[in-house]
Chain A
Amino acid sequence: MNRLSIILLSVLAMACHSKKETITNPADYAVFLEINSENEKLKLAEKELAFWSEKFEKSPNQTPYLIKMAAANNALFEQKGDINNLVSAENQLIRANEMAGSKSASQLRALAKTHITQHKFREALSALQKADSLGEGKLATQMMLFDVNMELGNYDKAEAFLTGQRETETFNYLIRLAKWHDYEGDTQGAIDQLQRALQKADEMKSEPLKLWTYSNLGDYYGHVGNIEKSYEYYLKTLAIDPHYDYALKGIAWIVFSYERNPEEAERIIKVLQKRHEAPDYQLLLAEIAEFRGNEEAKARHINNFLATVSSPSYGDMYNAYLVTLLENEPEKALELAKKEVINRPTPQSYQLLSYASMLNGRGEEALKLADQYVNGKTFEPVSLYQLATVYKKSGRGKEVEELKKELMGAYFEVGPLMEKEIEKL
């Protein structure tokens, strides 16, 4: 079943019971909000960084120490969200690769992984191509090349890799097959593959792989409107690692978007904010504030977000968000959208460019971009909504109606504010 029919089905399902039941229960997750236990992963990463930094200071010709320091910095970024850790990891890996003359495939893959986190996909691609030509660990390199090609919109190359694989019963293959199904708009297919991948993770008794798969299933079940399952998988994630904040953020979204309980959602997010510095929380708080009609708080959160991500350390990581936030600075929005298209020429990026063109009064250009690069090429609800606004401005009522129908099934995913906007389309 593809994403469209799922969306239609869930529209029907929702029509049957307009009053949304409460699925979450604070008693289920209170224990994860109030944890006093130390974050073991954080503690270990801090110790690792101190240990290897000290060794490196004494022997600055040792690339393995640099690699260890970078790994610890990456882990710290994951746990705390401090961008400086990510930048340090990048610098250490660049230096290590320079010292090794870019002759180590595993070091190049490590650099690519950090570049992916930074949304420097072109740099990641270049590191992976070097690793691929060296040969060692070719399959691991090719898996990452698939990931980067998906981000860069090189879908033909990504598909060629998938169809060229003979060993298809592995965790690493299955999660990429899931990603491919999602790209094609077949969310149920993505869930099916993730469930198969979960079996592999279970067989391997791998905690990190289970955490990753559970939390992704939490997201995907939400996308198909199965909120109970989504909640269940977020709780399963937390049962393994109470410090896995991403799952709590997912629960906060259910509380806000599905149950329409902004107070409780805000309470969860504010706890998470104390643990983790991700600027994303500011955006979520801004959305919640707007929903509650608190314009002052909304402006404050957006300003906090803008102030944070305008630091050069973030590079282009948040460009996609910035474009949509810069309604009052259309020229800057257009500039960032152009940059985003160069960084990753995907249908979503072209949609941003189309939207920014419209903001600047270039309706014809916006429409041309939408027709050529976006329509029929992505199923991301936010992109589809923007596409609909471009069509609406251009008087293309038939397309607007079609998109509106599709978007009605994605209300949970896009949230209550965008729901109102979609209804106005």
Chain B
Amino acid sequence: MTGSSVDLADFLPAYLAEAEELLGAAHRHLLAVETSVRRGLAHPRAVRELFRALHTIKGLSAMVDVEPIVAIAHWMETSLRHADRAGGRLPEPSVEPLMEGLREIEQRVRQLAAGKQAAPVPAGLLERLEALESIVLGTAPAQKPAPAVLELDAAIAARLSAAEKEQLTTGAAAGRRAVRLDFVPSAERAAAGVTINSVRDRVAKLAETVKVLPLSGPAAGGGSLTFVLLLLTDATDAALLEAAGGEPASMRALTGAAPEPAQAVPAAPEPEPALLEEEPEEQRRGAGTLRVEVSRLDEALERLAALVVNRSRLTRAVAALTAAGAPTRELTAILQENGRQLRDMRAAIIRLRMVRVGDVLERLPLLVRGLRRSTGKAVRLELDVGDAELDKAVADRLLPALVHLVRNAVDHALESPDERRAAGKPEEGVVRLACHAGASGLLDISVADDGRGVDARAVAARAGGPVPQTPDALLEVLCRPGFSTRDAATATSGRGMGMDIVRRIIVDQLGGELALETRPGAGTTFRLRVPLTITLVDAFVFECAGLRYAVAVGSVDELIDVDPARLVRPAGASGVVLVERRGSAVPLLSLESLLELERRDGQEGRGTKALIVRQRGEPVAFAVDRLVCQQEIVLRPLEDPLVRVSGVAGATDLGDGQPTLVLDLAALGLARGGGRRPAEPGRGRERAT
């Protein structure tokens, strides 16, 4: 590649983002298609969306010259086009090759993202995909049943595609009602928040929307425009009318008791593009949404952080003026207003970074599908995530932990169908992931299964310790590095990360909480609580051995003064120092030696202040030299493997252009001080490689 490689590099980031999104949609639609195929139904909408996604992937990939993806997408697209023309009908054997095709495309997109070349198409795949074409064609026309006949006005019938008509008739044949809901918009209704969009959203909860057609002309209630919604539903007319805002909306069934052949839909083949003019949904989705690179959002946040730093300086300067007797009342008022504005601005920027939890988890159904196949267990994934949103930075960290918990649940917790039957449970196990926004900026998440529960005795035997008596103690053992309850590493969970990594993500990286509930024979629930954002945090800034550090205020129990005269050095415990705090003795660690810092002035410094944090529930004091201030900081996680270390949550800029480390003291104490032992001066270099 000569000239084109330059172009590729320019377009690649946009291409990767788009491809990722399209693949996500394609997976979702293919899963929907698979579900329908199993029930012997067509799913025209999903087939069409899948076809469009692949068509776009193919086009984009051709632009950046990724031949293997173009080839795979092409053959998938070809068979899907036939399926689309056949009314969204796909034979069951075609699902697996399509899944395989998506997987292979995804793998190549990853390779490109990692700066590598896309691997060639694996042997045989194109042949399998090409063969789909004849499979799809073979099944399409003959078995098209006409189980129900639609009663449609000619004007409406003419505007429906064959696929949409079939969707209505087969839906009706499968026991749902095919109905027509007429909605008449008006200014008064719009003022009350009832618009075609709100009606669509509400109706979508009750029914499958096959088509929405705008009809102009005199309408009920004196309007001049009617939206005709063609629906498949199990809901009652009353409920649907209610969703459409009541009168003058009206309902009509589309399938009559006595089919009249004369009124049947004309079966003439239809040119596809005829419909494109009225696809309001497409427009609605595209309008008002913007894809933004995260780095740009980070940049905006950086600018804001600089403003916040500057404001602190301004506040100090004004305070100095006031102290000197200058008239600063107006200045102070402006400063206060400025503070409010900064807070609003901060909230606005944080909102920009929020992603829907539902979108983050969209790959989980696919994961569970894969597990179903590899473990042979019957399992259903229930997602109850509502509209909850999370900072992208939190979501990116959280996802691997959730994937692990779900994987563990299927792999370890759920029994085989035989065992479940013997235990009097339904054969199909359930893994349920639910989340809702809890109090003050926290998100509560639960991952629950109805499997066999955690056997505390088996866990104890494996760990070689006493049987844990409380759920917390049990969780503690499960989260030990390297702990596993299976002898053989299994294909799914075996080489993945252990519970220790889950805890590290939730507790150490995100500063959240992790808890366990389990009942033998009934199931296990993991409860997680994470902050909605870790990007902007309130922090204490302090000095230690001449360097500045920050620590999240939320992680600090208390700030204390250290009085050297009242330190206790118990006999026999070399190097352990205790500090008295409200009647109890708390171990005092020297942060300086934990950080392996060398003092420039050569003085041995046990700091004069200490921060008390909880380390596995126990208070531990970290001695520092001096507290500088409390301020809001922008936390930037350290992504590079060279500097991703326990005890360092990230870095921030305090306004001097030098990165300042943001410490996670509890994790630091555990990682470098060794759980229970306080740091002994002089140890520590051993870790350096």
Our verdict on whether A and B bind, yes or no, reads: no
Query: What is the interface of chain B, defined by CB distance below 8 A to chain A?
Result: none
Which residue numbers of A lie inside 8 Å of B, CB to CB? none
